[in-house]
Structure formats: C-alpha cells, structure tokens
C-alpha cells in the first residue's frame, strides 16, 4: 500500500512538473523580444573567425553541460525518491526540441543582459547546452546505477561512512561512460549548431556569426559549393578535436574500467605526435606555474577544512537559502501560470487540438521507422567494430564526423534525389530524423561493448563459443543497459530532429510535412500562441507517457537483470 501511495505521489509531482514546463514556455512566449539580426551578412573570408566563434560557444556549453551532468546524474542515482522525479524530468527535457527552449532563452538572456550581443550569445550557448547535456547526464546515471555490488561492498568496508565516496568511487566510475557520451554530445552540439546560431521567435530574428549560420545561409540559398566549403571546415575541426582531445581522453578513461585481467596490455589509439604535443603543453604549463609556487609552504589540508563545524554550518545555511529561493521562484511561476490560464483558454480552439493529435501520430510513426532502421544497422556495425579493433580505430572517427554534420546541410541533397518519388518529402523527413537518432544507438552500444571487463571476455572465450552464441550469451546482455540508454537518448534526438526534418525553407520556398515538429516551427514563426502551447503540451505529454510506461520499467528490469558483477 505504501509503495502504491509513493507511486501516486510521484505521478502527481511529475504531472505538475510537466504543467510547469509548458507554462514556463508559454509565459516567455508571450513576451516581445528585441527584433533584428545581430549580423547583416556572412563572408567567406571571415570563415576562420566564424569557426572560432562556434567553437567557443560549443566549449562553454560543454563545460556547463559537464558540471550539470555530474551533479544531476549523481543526485538521481544515489536516491530512489530523487530518481523517481529526476529521471522522467531529465527524459522530458532531453526530448523537448531545442525549439521549445527558444522563447525562454531569448527573452531571459536578452532581457537580463543589457548588451544585446552578449545576451543573444548567452542564449545561443544555453541552446547548445540543451543539445549536449541530457545524453551526458544519462551516461552518469547509468554508470552509477550499474556499479558492481561487490565493488560497492569492498569500498564500504574501507570507508564505512563514505566520506570520500564521491571522489574515490562514484566519480571514477562515471569517467569511461562520461568521456564516450561527451563525444556523442559534442557531435550533437555540432548537429544542432545551425538551429542555435540562426533563430526567430515571432517578430524577433537573430543571426550569429558562426560556422553553423554560414552553412545554413548558404544551404538555404542553394549555394552548394559554399555549403560544402563550410562542411569541409567543420570536418577539419572535428578531426583535429578527435585526434588531439577525444582520443587521448578515451585512452585515459580506460584506466577506470572494471577490468582485473592479469597482464592486460594497454590499447593505444593516440599517435606519437599527439603525445609529444601534450607533453610539450604540460612542460610549458609547469614552467609558467613554477614562479608562483612556494616550495617551502605547506600544502593546505582541505579535508580538515571541510570538517570544521562552522563550514558545515555555512553549507547548511546556504542550502536552506537556496531551497527558499527555489520555493519563491516556483511559487511566482505558479502564480504567473494561473493568471495566464484564462487568457490562453480564450485563444484555445478545438481545431488546434485535433491538428496537434494528428501531427503527433504522423511524427511518432516517422520516429518509429527511423528507430527500427537505426537498430537494423547500428547493432551489427557495433559488434563488427568490437571484434575488429584495428578497423574501429579508422572507422570510429569517420562515423563521428558524419554524426557531427548538421542535417540542414544534407537536406538539399536528399530532397533533390527523393522529391521525384511518391511521398518524397516523407522519405526525406525519415532520413533526416534517422541522422538525429542512429548515432546515439551506435555509440552507446559500442561503448557498452568496449566496457565489458577483459576477464569476463577471457572466461567466455575459454569455452570456445561460436560468434553467434557469444553474441547471445555475452555481447547482447552486456550491451543491453547501454542500448537502453542509447534508445532513450536516440528518441530524444529524434524528437529534436523533427524541427529540422519536418519544416525547412530553401531559396524562399518552404518544404514541410504534417508533424509536431512542423507545427512548432510554423506556430513559433507566425506567433500562434495557442497552436504552439497545444503542440508543445501534447508532445511533452506523449514523451512522459512513453517514459513512464515503457522506458522506466524496461530500464529498471534490464539494469537489475543484466548488471555485470565484477
């Protein structure tokens, strides 16, 4: 009876959060933002500058995403009660299209920061943040909930009070998955960079200098040569980051795998020139630091500092102040929503509801088709890469490049070919949705396979199992938690991709198919508040129902049954 009561309480809280989210979007949608473009035109000679600006936005968004993902994932994974609320909220936010955050982001940052340019930049960084953070947060959550029980018990034996559990146990456990999901999130940031650098809400229109806006502008004018030039520059940046950032981080993250095989050889993916580069950077930083270091000074003992009573009192006070502030802001939001309800009800029409219901069905069908196609090719490819590590070192970076190419740059080419076929626009939409879903499944499944402990692989290999039986008995069960994480984030990416796949303007001509993404686009551009809120509400409700009745029960069952014990 108590469990049923808790479930009902959690359901009420979740539904209230859903209403608050939609109300929050509606309130900011009603506000007028400053209109006008930040830059007048895009020039080829400024392409290096545009690339730097986009890279800076991506980096700042990633730093905020990393901090949020660790804090949120840790909080959700270490408390069943927090998990019941935080996990569905996380899934809802990661599934709401970037477009759904536009009204709040634009008004909040432009109104808060006096300098218009800085305000729009902050809004763009926030929108990129929304395209990166959710996958990373799910990765942290999955890592913490799948820590082997014997490892937890062993750690608890040495640290019964768990004073250092976060630093010594939880944080190291998240590093392999966090690094791998960071690569996917960074690719997703590139994918939605176009939508985050050129956006409009009603009469407000903004165009920031960046590689995404350059690709969008040239693609919309059908200047394929310049579009390909922008993509080429983007590919060069992606390859450079992969070589000098992500590969070294991936190799370093292997230290934290649950592997105790004796004599295991360290796999190396980093070229000697990359190692020499980082060694040189480290030497330079050490020399720069040397004049500021006093060797006679004793190092600070932060452990004793944090244990002081007055410090604990300050933390307790700040927690109470923060909770009070959140409560006040939440109460203010509820008050504003209650006031806005009568105004919204007057503009509400049955036609908008019927149209939104029809659109959500069409969008769901496209997402389902794209997801099934994703499963059909990503799982075999992930298994192939797992068995052929040498090939994987070449193929993985190529796949990351393809995953990072903005979908809008592919739209003219795909449309040109499929427009001649019956339902060509629908086929084009499914293919573009596929570009927003498939990489999550592939990279998560491949990451799950790579995380299989070597001693477990050796035990299975000792039985001489054939590849098909080995896949059934080891690879599939070991990758199921990662496949579930990939599925959740893939559908989130799919819902996001709808805003690009179902509605786009090229050379002044609009191409659209009936779907929830196109409704959000049209309502946002035309200023139709009723249609925007109805569409967003129905979309969020659909995501919530799928999460509550499909994702969560499946994930709990898979995590419990297929958790690898070291």
* Mean pLDDT score, 538-549: 82
What's the rounded Cα separation, in Å, for the pair 92 and 22? Answer: 11
Phi, psi of 271 (to 5 degrees): -70, 155
So what's the pLDDT on residue 15? 57
Percent of the chain with pLDDT over 70: 72
Dihedral angle, C-alpha 345, 350, 351, 354, nearest 10 °: 120
Please give the backbone phi and psi of residue 429, each rounded to the nearest 5 degrees, phi first. -60, -45
Rounded Cα distance between 114 and 111, Å, is 7
What is the per-residue pLDDT for 357? 92
What pLDDT, in 10s, does the model give residues 119-131?
Answer: 788 888 888 888 8
| pLDDT band for position 291 (cuts 50, 70, 90) | low
Cα of 516 vs its chain's centroid, Å: 21
Would you state the pLDDT for residue 121? 84
> What average pLDDT is seen over the chain?
75
Pull the structure tokens for residue 540.
């969020």
Classify 359 as helix, strand or coil.
helix
Predicted confidence band of residue 372 (pLDDT cuts 50, 70, 90): very high
Structure tokens at 12: 């009420």
Count CB-CB contacts under 10 A for residue 115.
Answer: 10
State the CB neighbour count (10 A cutoff) for residue 349: 11
Tokens coding 262: 């004796």
- Return d(Cα 366, Cα 325) in angstroms, integer: 42
**Model confidence at 379, in pLDDT bands (50, 70, 90)?**
very high
SS (H, E, C) 394-461: HHHHHHHHHHHCCHHHHHHHHHHHHCCCCCHHHHHHHHHHHHHHHHHHHHHHHHHHHCCCHHHHHHHH
In the chain, what percentage of residues exceed pLDDT 90? 7
Q: For residues 523 and 462, what is the distance between their CA atoms, to the nearest angstrom?
A: 61
Q: Would you place residue 102 in the very low, low, confident or very high pLDDT band (cuts 50, 70, 90)?
A: low
The structure tokens listed for 223 are 């200047």
Full 3-state SS string of 239-291: HHHHHHHHHHHHHHHHHHCCCCCCCCCCCCCCCHHHHHHHHHHHHHHHHHHHH
Beta bridge partners of 205: 200
Average pLDDT for 84-100: 69
Q: What pLDDT band is residue 359 in, cutting at 50, 70 and 90?
A: very high
Terminal-to-terminal C-alpha distance of the chain: 36
pLDDT (tens digit, 9 = 90+) per residue, 207-244? 788 888 888 777 777 777 787 788 888 888 887 888 78
Q: Is 262 exposed, middle or buried (0-12, 13-18, 19+ CB in 10 A)?
A: exposed
pLDDT band at 114 (very low <50, low <70, confident <90, very high): low
Beta strands 503-506 and 198-201, pairing class: unpaired
- What is residue 32's predicted lDDT score, i.e. its pLDDT? 37
Q: Give me the phi and psi of 204, to 5 degrees please.
A: -85, 135
* Whole-number Cα distances in Å, 44 to 195, 208, 209, 238, 367: 20, 15, 11, 19, 36
Rounded to an integer, what distance in angstroms lies between the CA atom of residue 558 and that of residue 470? Answer: 19
CA distances from 372 to 71, 87, 273, 287, 330 (A): 33, 24, 41, 54, 40
Q: Give the pLDDT confidence score for residue 368 in this predicted structure.
A: 94
Highest mean pLDDT range out of 18-27, 349-358, 404-413?
Answer: 349-358
Distances (CA, A) of 438 to 8, 322, 332, 392, 472: 35, 40, 41, 17, 22
Q: Strand 198-201 relative to strand 204-207: parallel, antiparallel, unpaired?
A: antiparallel
Q: Which residues contact 333 (CB under 8 A, 6 or more apart)?
A: 20, 23, 24, 27
pLDDT single digits (tens) 520-540:
878 877 777 778 888 888 887
pLDDT per position as a tens digit, 433-465? 898 788 889 988 988 888 777 777 777 777 777
Distance of alpha carbon 168 from alpha carbon 472, whole angstroms: 34
For 245, other C-beta atoms within 10 Å of its C-beta total: 15
Q: Exposed (0-12), middle (13-18) or buried (19+): which is 528, by Cβ within 10 Å? A: middle
Return the minimum-mean-pLDDT range out of 11-15, 527-531, 550-554.
11-15
The predicted pLDDT at position 10 comes to: 55
Q: Which ranges of 146-170 does DSSP label H, i.e. alpha helix?
A: 149-158, 165
pTM check: above 0.85: no
User: Could you say which DSSP state residue 509 is in?
Assistant: E
Question: Which is more confident, 107 or 259?
Answer: 107
């Amino acid at each position: 009876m108590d469990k049923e009561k808790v479930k009902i309480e959690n359901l009420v809280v979740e539904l209230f959060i859903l209403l608050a989210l939609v109300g929050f979007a509606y309130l900011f949608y009603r506000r007028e933002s400053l209109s006008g473009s930040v830059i007048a035109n895009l020039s080829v000679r400024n392409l290096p500058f545009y690339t730097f600006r986009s890279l800076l936005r991506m980096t700042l968004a990633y730093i905020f995403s990393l901090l949020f993902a660790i804090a949120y994932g840790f909080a959700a994974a270490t408390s069943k009660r927090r998990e019941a609320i935080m996990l569905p909220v996380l899934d809802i936010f990661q599934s709401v299209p970037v477009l759904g955050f536009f009204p709040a982001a634009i008004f909040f940052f432009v109104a808060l920061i006096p300098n218009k340019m800085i305000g729009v930049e902050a809004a763009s960084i926030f929108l990129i943040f929304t395209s990166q953070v959710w996958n990373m947060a799910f990765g942290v959550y999955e890592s913490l909930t799948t820590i082997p029980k014997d490892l937890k018990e062993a750690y608890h034996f040495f640290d019964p009070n768990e004073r250092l559990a976060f630093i010594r146990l939880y944080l190291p456990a998240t590093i392999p998955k966090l690094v791998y999901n960071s690569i996917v999130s960074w690719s997703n940031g590139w994918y939605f960079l176009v939508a985050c650098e050129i956006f409009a809400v009603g009469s407000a229109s903004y165009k920031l200098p960046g590689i995404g806006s350059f690709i969008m502008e040239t693609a919309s004018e059908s200047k394929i040569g310049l579009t390909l030039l922008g993509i080429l520059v983007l590919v060069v940046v992606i390859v450079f980051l992969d070589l000098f950032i992500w590969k070294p981080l991936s190799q370093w993250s292997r230290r934290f795998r649950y592997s105790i095989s004796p004599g295991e050889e360290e796999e190396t993916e980093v070229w000697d020139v990359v190692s020499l580069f980082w060694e040189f950077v480290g030497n330079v930083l050490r020399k720069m630091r040397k004049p500021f270091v006093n060797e006679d000074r004793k190092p600070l003992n932060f452990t004793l500092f944090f244990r002081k009573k007055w410090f604990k009192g300050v933390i307790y006070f700040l927690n109470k102040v923060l909770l009070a502030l959140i409560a006040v802001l939440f109460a203010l939001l509820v008050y504003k929503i209650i006031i806005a309800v009568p105004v919204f009800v007057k503009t509400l029409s049955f036609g908008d509801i019927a149209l939104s219901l029809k659109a959500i069905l069409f969008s769901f069908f496209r997402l389902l088709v794209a997801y099934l196609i994703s499963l059909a090719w990503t799982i075999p490819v992930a298994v192939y890469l797992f068995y052929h590590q040498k090939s994987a070192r070449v193929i993985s970076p190529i796949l990351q490049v393809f995953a990072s190419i903005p979908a809008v740059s592919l739209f003219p080419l795909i449309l040109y070919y499929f427009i001649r076929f019956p339902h060509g626009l629908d086929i084009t939409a499914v293919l573009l949705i596929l570009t927003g879903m498939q990489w999550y499944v592939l990279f998560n499944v491949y990451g799950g396979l790579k995380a299989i402990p070597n001693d477990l692989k050796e035990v299975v290999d000792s039985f001489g199992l054939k590849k098909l039986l080995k896949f059934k008995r080891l690879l599939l069960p070991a990758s199921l938690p990662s496949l579930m994480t990939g599925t959740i984030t893939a559908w989130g990416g799919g819902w996001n991709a709808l805003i690009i796949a179902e509605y786009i303007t090229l050379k002044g001509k609009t191409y659209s198919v009936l779907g929830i993404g196109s409704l959000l686009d049209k309502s946002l551009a035309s200023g139709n508040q009723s249609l925007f809120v109805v569409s967003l509400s129905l979309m969020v409700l659909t995501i919530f129902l799928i999460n509550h009745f499909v994702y969560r029960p499946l994930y709990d069952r898979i995590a419990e049954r297929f958790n690898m014990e070291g």
